[in-house]
Amino acid sequence: MASLPHDDRFQTEADRLIAPGHDFGSVTDKISQIVLKRRTPLGWWVGFGIGFLLMNLLFLTIVNLLFRGIGVWGPTVPIGWGFDIINFVWWIGIGHAGTLISAILLLLRQAWRTSINRFAEAMTLFAVACAGFYPVFHTGRPWVAFYWLFPYPNTMGLWPNFRSPLIWDVFAVSTYASVSAMFWFIGLIPDFATLRDRANSKPFKIVYGMLAMGWRGSAKHWHNYETAYLLMAGLATPLVLSVHTVVSWDFAVGLVPGWHATIFPPYFVAGAIYAGFAMVLTLCIPLRKFYGLEDFITMKHLENMAKVMLATGLIVAYGYTMEAFFGWYSGSNYEQFMVWNRMTGPYWYMYWMLILCNVIAPNTLWIPRLRRSVPFLFFISFVVSLGMWLERYVIIVTSLHRDFLPSSWGMYAGTRYDWAAFVGTIGLFITLIFLFVRFLPAISIFEMRTLVPGAEIEEEKA
């Protein structure tokens, strides 16, 4: 084995990305045994069971919705977008951290992304699946919605309106889901090969063997593979920025006060990354604890994620400030009223809770001691998730409920079916995450090998 690498990545406890004493073999065995060991831990069954029950609640609400129509949900004139769009934007935003970690941090050569990228990408996929549920079922009868969502030659000779942000949204979200799935899958191919070679039971060998597609780690393969991986990162980077930009255009292209603002795209993207990192923390803190992965997901990872959350949280806070400033500076009665109504109107408590969660709470992360406290990070990740949900609530509901004409003002509250669908998608998410952790390597094995001391070849030896 070559001597220790010369960079200081492995030197101090606070800075290292992998605990000392690991080699290629131990990294491989430690991660693959989570998947390959025969007994499923009891805790897994408990978590999966909870998720599975809640997921069935989602199925029940879908059946109820399809039989009775979307009147069972709360949205009605003037608030035509309620929980369905709030939750859609919330979920899709959560997904963004996965792509940021896997693509943007790869291009920026941030080695710390390596141990968290795999499950962050899985989180992206599952969050997009949860997000997709809402607009599809908000159409009421999705099977007759296809002709105005997707461009295909239909018997009516109709084509979608390409000037509409809602069609942009369909293109953006479906491309995002497809590209994320492909990126995730090619990342998994070498690890499937590892599992194929390690699996003890015949069925697992066959399944992982088929998924690995005959991967043999040849230098020629790796050469094309690395090129493809880098290209995918380069493609996913502008894509992820475009997705939440397009989502923000669903609002910003409209004329409603509180929606019609040029700051929306950058502030939505920052908010998405902020919410996504909170969800990555929510998932990886229990994961590293229960599976003993502290060697691979170190304090350095948690602290870096906290720093990203702090930075994006400050951008989001800037967005709120500018929103209020634009409202005042516009000189428009409607815009000024919207800002005042948000802060002091019937939904004032939502607004101030949002400020508490998204503007005040992340500033605690300036303090190094709090940033390095695992329980505190776990707590703050929930605060941020709640804050981002409130942000979408405030943007959608308070903008719509009092627009231009006082005669068309109204109030909104989610019905029990709205809540059931929301809790149900959380169940779907939990179920998928638990299945993922049980059957696929939650940490990229082949990329972890590159972090092992001696993996990098020193110039004079090569």
Partner 1 sequence: MSAPSAPAERLYGLMAEFHGPAEVVAAAHAVHEAGYRRVDAYTPYPIEELTEALDLHHSPLPKLVFAGGTTGLLAGFGLAYWASTIAYPMNIGGRPFNSWVSFIPPTFETTILFSALTCVLGMLALNGLPQPYHPVFNVEAFVLASRDKFFICIEAADAKFEREETRKFLRGLPDVSAVHEVTP
Residue window 213-232: x/- pattern of binding to partner 1, with contact defined by CB under 8 A: xxxxxxxxxxxxxxxx--xx
Question: Minimum distance between the CB of residue 455 and partner 1, rounded to whole angstroms?
Answer: 6
Question: In angstroms, what CA-CA distances link 331 with 325, 327, 334, 335, 337?
Answer: 11, 8, 9, 8, 10
Binding residues among 133-172 for partner 1 as defined by CB under 8 A: 151, 157-163, 165, 167-168, 171-172
Q: Following DSSP, what letter does each residue of 310-327 receive, concatenated?
A: HHHHHHHHHHHHHHHHHH
Rounded to the nearest angstrom, the gap between the alpha carbon of residue 136 and the centroid of all alpha carbons in its chain is 19
Cβ(448)–Cβ(31) below 8 Å: yes
Query: Among residues 157 and 203, whose Cβ is nearest to partner 1?
Result: 157
Nearer Cβ to partner 1, position 189 or 343? 189
Q: Using the rule CB under 8 A, is 24 a contact of partner 1?
A: yes
Shortest separation between residue 66's beta carbon and partner 1, angstroms = 29
Minimum CB distance to partner 1, residue 119 (Å) = 19
Residues 245-274 close enough to bind partner 1 by CB under 8 A: 246, 249
Q: Per rule CB under 8 A, is residue 124 in the interface with partner 1?
A: no
The answer for residues whose C-beta is within 8 angstroms of residue 203's C-beta and 6 or more apart is none
The answer to whether residue 405 forms part of the interface with partner 1 (CB under 8 A) is no
Q: Give the nearest distance from C-beta 190 to partner 1 in angstroms.
A: 7
**Cα 453 to Cα 17, 55, 310, 364, distances in angstroms:** 11, 43, 31, 35
Q: Where are the beta strands (DSSP E) in 295-433?
A: none
C-beta atoms surrounding 408 within 10 Å: 12
CA distance 274 to 94: 8
Q: C-alpha dihedral over 21, 24, 29, 31, to 10 degrees?
A: 90
**Cβ 147 to partner 1 shortest distance, Å:** 11
The residue within the footprint of partner 1, chosen from 116, 120, 239, 420 (CB under 8 A), is 239
Q: What is the contact surface with partner 1 in residues (CB under 8 A)? A: 1-2, 23-25, 28-29, 151, 157-163, 165, 167-168, 171-172, 175, 178-179, 182-183, 185-186, 189-190, 193-194, 196-198, 210, 213-228, 231-232, 235-236, 238-239, 242, 246, 249, 446-447, 449-450, 454-455, 457-458, 461-462
